[in-house]
Amino acid sequence: MLNGKAMTQLFMPSRMGEFVRILQVIQRYPPSVGGSQLHVQRISEELVKRGHEVTVVTTSSSSITDVRGLSTAGLTYRNRLMDVPRVSEENGVTVYRFNPWLQVLSYLFTPGLFNLLRKRVKDYDVVHAHCYMYAEPDAAMVAAGMSDTPCILTAHDVVTTYGGAYSLIKKVYDWTLGGITLSRTTTLVALNEENKKQYLGLGCDPKKIRIVPNGIDYETYRQVERDDALLALLGNPSRVVLCISRILKYKGIQHIIDAAPAILERYPDTLFVFLGEDQGFGAELKSQALESDVLNHCLFTGSVSAEKVPKYYGLADVFVLPSVGEGFGLVALEAMSAG
């Protein structure tokens, strides 16, 4: 797992051994579920353990379907935000959460968050913004530029699109706001070599790019054992195919359901377990499974606690990550650690 020492070595070598004030900026943060959210939580808590001060600025949104407006999942007519404190301290990390007013695709309009960045960014030694084609990192870059504060951007996946008109919108963003954000960033974090190529394809300066892979707590998953009680709750299937993912179209779960009839023809007592929060695509998947006559072999669990996730890995014979766009899927590392 990336720790505070690695972070300061990469981005602030002149400050090694010194106290550093770090501002993390991301659209969503746990208890919201997602790889980037978990990434920020882990590196923030590791930096605190190293003796640094870490503040996270985020929103109270948990998914793309809880803010009124138009998202990639369609129209949402009213806010259904998380009931979380505006300011809290979580494992040593100070977290500010602001209520978004409106959503337009991946952009959330959150005046309180923008105002805090404008007023407070100069109080920090470095700003680390996350994701690309989002309002929060764009606002962080503008605020950091006005105060000459060094700014890191981890885009996570800079090329993900959802097809159709969205691809054109992204190209326009790349040429305008996205290009400005990338050019103003002091350091660009790529999760792997492919991610680095994506930055270069957008015209980024190669001297600013650093590769920092995602990490997990391997010991949590290496020790998993089969939980017979959980297997009994699932009906004691002979084989379990596991997919852990938010339920979104680009995550590709429909491709598993497409393959299910052929798999069941050879292995009829197989259960396909889809573990993750439904963010607007669940009804379509269930309809697809019903039409393919495999719905009784599919289990959609919804969100489960972090403590229960390793138990599902312990039951799985096969793990599948069918996503058509990932920066660096943490669940793939978890599955490999679990064998």
CA distance 333 to 289: 28
Q: Average pLDDT, stretch 237-265?
A: 93
Q: What is the pLDDT of residues 58-116, one digit of tens each?
A: 999 998 889 999 987 789 999 999 999 999 999 999 999 999 999 998 899 999 999 99
Residue 334 CA to residue 310 CA, distance in Å, equals: 8
- As beta bridge partners, residue 154 has 130, 189
Q: Positive or negative CA dihedral for 45, 29, 113, 129?
A: positive
Asked whether the beta carbons of 97 and 90 are under 8 A apart, the reply is: no
CB atoms within 10 A of CB 17: 8
In this prediction, residue 161 carries a pLDDT of: 60
- Rounded distance, CA 235 to CA 75, Å? 37
Q: What is the pLDDT of residue 327?
A: 66
Report which of residues 327 and 48 the model is more confident about.
Answer: 48
- What is the pLDDT at residue 71? 86
pLDDT of residue 160: 63
Asked which of 8-17, 108-117, 121-130 is least confident by mean pLDDT, the reply is 8-17
Please report which confidence band the pLDDT of residue 16 belongs to, taking 50, 70 and 90 as the band edges.
low
Average pLDDT for 255-270: 96
Q: How confident is the model at residue 2 (pLDDT cuts 50, 70, 90)?
A: very low
Q: How confident is the model at residue 200 (pLDDT cuts 50, 70, 90)?
A: very high
Q: CB under 8 Å to 2, separation ≥6 — which residues? A: 42, 43, 46, 212, 213, 214, 215
CA–CA separation, 103 vs 123, rounded Å? 29
Closest CA to 93 of 151, 141, 37, 143: 37
| Average pLDDT over the chain, rounded to an integer | 89
Q: Hey, which residues does 272 pair with through a beta bridge?
A: 241, 298
Span 243-260, mean pLDDT?
A: 92
Task: Name 152's bridge partners.
Answer: 128, 187
Compare 13 and 327 and report the one with higher pLDDT. 327
For the stretch 297-328, pLDDT in tens is 999 998 888 788 899 999 999 999 998 777 67
pLDDT tens, position by position, 270-298: 999 999 888 788 999 999 999 999 999 99
What are the helix (H) ranges across the chain? 4-11, 35-49, 111-120, 135-147, 165-175, 177-184, 193-201, 218-222, 228-233, 253-266, 282-291, 309-315, 330-337
The answer to pTM > 0.85 is no
Q: In this structure, what token pair is assigned to residue 160? A: 């993900």
Task: List, as one string, the DSSP characters of 224-292.
Answer: ----HHHHHHTT--SEEEEEE--B-GGGTHHHHHHHHHHHHHHSTTEEEEEES-BSS-HHHHHHHHHHT
Residue type, 227: D
As a whole number of angstroms, the distance between CA 294 and CA 283 comes to 14
Q: Which helix (H) or strand (E) holds 160?
A: none
- Asked if the model's pLDDT at residue 12 lies above 90, the reply is no
The two structure tokens encoding residue 76: 């949402």
